[in-house]
Amino acid sequence: MDKKLLIALVVAAVLLAAGYWYWKNIQATPIPEQENINKVGESVKTINESAIQGALPSLNVQANPLSDVPDVNPVTKTNPFAGVKTNPFK
């Protein structure tokens, strides 16, 4: 092999390896703008949680006015075969 060709191949291999290493490290480091966006999102979430705390009344499950609604469905009261084992309406 020619000495110049061998040196060119070694230099090209070293440059490719260095380029690949640089490319991998660039992708691994987070972008500063993205870090700032994440920090802002987290701080907005904590501010909202602290602002809501004590401002809204706690919801009482028993406060539902429709929890004790009587059964007014006329279909359930008019079926004469409700107690029969083979109901022809089902």
Residue 3 in any domain: the answer is yes
pTM, two decimal places: 0.33
Domain extent for 37: 1-48
As for how many domains the chain has, the answer is 1
Residue 83 in any domain: the answer is no
Residue 55 in any domain: the answer is no
Residue 79 in any domain: the answer is no
pLDDT tens by residue, 13-58: 999 999 999 888 877 666 677 778 888 888 888 887 877 776 666 6
Helix, coil or strand: residue 28: helix
Nearest partner of 89 among 80, 70, 40, 43, judged by Cα: 80
